[in-house]
Chain A
Amino acid sequence: MKISFPRMGYSYIAFKWLVENIGHECIVPPEPSERTLDLGVRYSPEFACIPYKILTGTYLEVADMGAEVVLTSGGIGPCRAGYYWIMHQQMLDELGIDLKIIAFEPPLNNISDFWQKLKLVWKSGGLSYREFIRVMKVAWEKLKAIDDLEQLSFKVRPYEIHRGETSRTLWKGLDFLDEANSIPEIKEARSEGLKLLNSMPQDKTRDPLKVGIIGEIYVVLEPSANHYIQIMLGEAGVEVDRSMYLSGYCGRREMHRPNEEIFAMARPYLNEAPIGGHGTNSIGETVLYAKNGFDGVIQLAPFACIPEIVAKSIIPRVSREQDIPVLTFFIDEQTGKAGVQTRIEAFVDLLEKRRERKRKEQGRLRAC
């Protein structure tokens, strides 16, 4: 079968490997572009959120490239994302496009459905059970290594001397990972990538601001959906801490605090969890960032995202009481890069002034 999947950050490298090694042909989804969004907007409901529209566009593009099956995730609500695949399948059927969407619902809620879909994908590839498990393990290792590299890149970027070098080095590391085929190889590629990033020429005298990124998972994880905001921030001399990574979302401990802890932080402001998507997390993580001495927080959310609107309504109160500035971006198809850049610059200026004032108040203004 020719299999494709939605693109979410750099994770496609791991998924590509997985699909190919199960024994299928992989159609790598192209990076969401203007064309993707145009297609998506044309065939999506007006008030669907931007991830829905991007996925619509992606599915139409991969169908064009010959994909027969798309693997994606389902969901149990109350976020709309769990209903995407039903709507997408109906849209594709109506357009007469022969593309089948296989959506994995959370296995804990319906194990037989999950198992049947998994079997469908696995058996048609012709692997034995043992091999299949091995392939899954390798892909998981790959996914973790990708996130490790990306995380380090955020730490290194504000210190880079040659603008854009971090991104180039990150790609080099990702290419190593792309070629790795077993767990030892991945480990080697990972440490090689980390070494490359660490050994880049850096100006350690800089004193970058620290900004946390919160919000809805898709627009946080997919750089093209948020106009490469994390890279933009890094190049403006800001150290970015992202509240989520795909491997953390899938249960990797060191990448993600347990939800209970985050919900407990959010409780004084939002006494209900979960409210779908990452609504409660956004509140809890803002509190955590404030407590950990961050200079500011940026919330990324798709326009009309239900849980994030709840979060946005409450965040001004969190911001006031925890004394941390928060900038919210509601992203839709009309959002332009220049607009994002202007707002980022203003926000960074504000944070710098604020930090300066605070240090002066504390009587330890650095001599510079």
Chain B
Amino acid sequence: MAKIGIPRTLAYFLYFPFCKEFFDSLGHEVVLSTPTSKAILDRGVKETVTDACIPIKLYHGHVADLIGKVDYIFAPRLVSFRKFGDFDTETLCPKFLGLPDMLRASIDDLSPIIDTRLHLRPGKKQLYLAGQEIGSILGDNPVQVKRAVTRARRVQKKFEKLLYEGMTPTEAMDVLYGDQPGPVNRVDDEAEFRIAVVGYPYIIYDPYVNVGLLKLLQREDARVYTQDMLSARKMAQAGRELPKQMFWYFSNRAVHGAVYFMKQDYIDGVIHVTAFACGPDAMVDRMMEFQAKKYGMPFMSIMVDEHTGEGGVKTRIEAFLDMLRYRRERDEN
């Protein structure tokens, strides 16, 4: 029975239900870091090298926030999630590969971290092996650990099904953890616009970093779609349009999602949210631009950093929607 801290960023948005179920069913207590705030970001900026990107700074901030509150911090080394890519070599961004070591080198008096290597490319057996590794650190019974992984996978499937129904991870977690009575009614065909927002989950779903972009869009009467609402099959299909697959898991998801939405008639525009100094995004963003031109889809990319203000983003959103409105009128005439 230990207290496990999970940083509320990076993989949290897509894989938290899995982690929570896994630790819960082993009888451990899961503690989340507080939602991103100025204090967390400032702490992260202080701990990291200046050249690091915002997500890495945020992650350091979240980990620092957990120090002293928990027995272990769960910061696995995310190497790969699936077998994919032109040479089957898809991994996560190199920064994720070195993340636990970066934490150790930059944060003093760090709590013990669980930095199990998650390399799932060879098959789902790896997931069970990783589970056993975590279990042995925490002193759990191997049989129970195996059961816990199976249960966690089941919950993760349920969570993903909610996403495919068109919920954002935040909404789906509300449903999963009972804050909402039932599935949110998402049939709002009356919305004026249908906008696809693509990018990394830790940027598009973190309302502090993107200064409430999704809320802003909804307030402007736009229905928001994200790449995580697409099934793996749809994504892979869209991915075939690319001359060469990207090397990074989240980048592939973002690009494939973008291409998928660009091919849909019901989508009015695509917004790519990218983080300042993100390495892969230099390629991802330009690739989306090329694809948007190919399909004639209105496209805008918004770059966020630690100084992004609501005013700036709001202005750009309004301008984008105005442009869409103008375009629609022109097409009708």
- Produce 1/0 per residue, A143-181, CB < 8 A to B: 000000000000000000000000000000000000000
The complex places the Cα of A163 from the Cα of B280 at a distance, in Å, of 43
A306, B105: Cβ atoms closer than 8 Å: no
- A to B contact number (C-beta, < 8 Å): 133
Q: Which of A186-206 contact B (CB under 8 A)?
A: none
Partner of B101, one of A83, A86, A106, A271: A271
A83 CB to nearest chain B CB (Å)? 5
Stretch of A134-142, A228-236, A308-316 contacting B (4+ beta carbons < 8 Å): A308-316
Q: Does A275 contact B (CB under 8 A)?
A: yes
With known contacts A270-B98, A309-B49, A314-B101, A304–B87 Cβ distance under 8 A? no
Q: Does B104 contact A (CB under 8 A)?
A: yes
B98, A80: Cβ atoms closer than 8 Å: no
Q: Does B93 contact A (CB under 8 A)?
A: yes
Q: Does A223 contact B (CB under 8 A)?
A: no
Q: Does B6 contact A (CB under 8 A)?
A: no
Q: Does B311 contact A (CB under 8 A)?
A: no
B248, A78: Cβ atoms closer than 8 Å: yes
Q: Does B106 contact A (CB under 8 A)?
A: yes
Number of interface residues of A (CB under 8 A): 44
Number of interface residues of B (CB under 8 A): 44
Q: Does A279 contact B (CB under 8 A)?
A: yes
With known contacts A46-B282, A77-B85, A80-B279, A310–B244 Cβ distance under 8 A? no
B282, A47: Cβ atoms closer than 8 Å: yes
Partner of A272, one of B97, B106, B277: B97
A78, B91: Cβ atoms closer than 8 Å: yes
The complex places the Cα of A53 from the Cα of B259 at a distance, in Å, of 26
Q: Does B231 contact A (CB under 8 A)?
A: no
Q: Does A276 contact B (CB under 8 A)?
A: yes
Q: Which of B285-313 contact A (CB under 8 A)?
A: 285-287, 290, 293
The complex places the Cα of A45 from the Cα of B289 at a distance, in Å, of 11
Q: Which of A301-330 contact B (CB under 8 A)?
A: 303-307, 309-314, 316-317, 330
Task: Find chain A residues with CB under 8 A from B49 CB.
Answer: 309, 312-313
A313 CB to nearest chain B CB (Å)? 4
Show 21 residue pairs from A and B whose CB-CB distance is below 8 angstroms, ordered by the A residue: A47-B277, A52-B282, A76-B89, A78-B92, A80-B247, A80-B280, A90-B243, A90-B287, A105-B87, A109-B89, A269-B105, A272-B77, A304-B51, A305-B279, A307-B94, A309-B51, A309-B52, A309-B53, A310-B102, A313-B98, A317-B104
Known: A77-B90, A305-B279. 8 other contacts (CB 8 A): A45-B282, A77-B248, A80-B279, A83-B246, A90-B290, A272-B117, A304-B279, A330-B51
